[in-house]
Structure 1
């Protein structure tokens, strides 16, 4: 199965209405910096938290694209409309796209 993938340059800025973002990184990565409005469900919790997932087309992100690729492959088999962000949050940050963090530190990808 081919995992549907998009480059950061192919993601509209700002994100369009109706495009949800699912972040499958671990809690410490999420707190350090994430896309504003994203839904956070760590990859290991995905199967048990399908009810928490956004509806409609969803951009799935992790740090570099590996975990989100696994998530997209599995979610697509479950019938979800998902696409993997090639290069993950590292590419998002490198492209100067907006991020938010928990706490007082500036957002960063860890």
Structure 2
């Protein structure tokens, strides 16, 4: 399966509220600042149980795009429909978009 990837601009423009945003960074990174509405599922948990998202469409985001691409590959192989966000949270923040802090 080909992994789908969008940049921060495409993510912001095409994001639908019905599609989950999974942030695969550590809990500490997530708490420091994340895309509003994202849920934190560290990469290790995604890799060990990618099947929990089988059949679901979701956006996967990390700090810059490396971990989200790895997670998206595992999720896609397990039957999910992931879209990795290239540029990640760093790109989201540098574009001036709103950020939430704290655990979720």
TM range, smaller chain = 0.7 to 0.9
Give 1 or 2 for the bigger CA radius of gyration.
1
Query: Which of the two has greater strand per residue?
Result: 2
Q: Which runs of 5 or more residues in structure 2 are unaligned?
A: none
Q: What residue in structure 1 maps to residue 100 of structure 2?
A: 100
Aligned-residue offset at 1:50: 5.2
Aligned-residue offset at 1:49: 7.3
TM-score when scaled to structure 2?
Answer: 0.84
Q: What residue in structure 2 maps to residue 32 of structure 1?
A: 32
Q: What residue in structure 2 maps to residue 90 of structure 1?
A: 90
Q: Supply the RMSD in Å over aligned alpha carbons.
A: 2.3
The alignment covers a number of residue pairs equal to 102
12-21 or 85-94: which moved more?
A: 12-21
1:25/1:48 Cα in 2 relative to 1: closer, same or farther (>3 Å)? same
Q: What residue in structure 2 maps to residue 43 of structure 1?
A: 43
TM-score when scaled to structure 1?
Answer: 0.79
Q: Which runs of 5 or more residues in structure 1 are unaligned?
A: 104-110
Query: Which of the two has greater helix per residue?
Result: 2
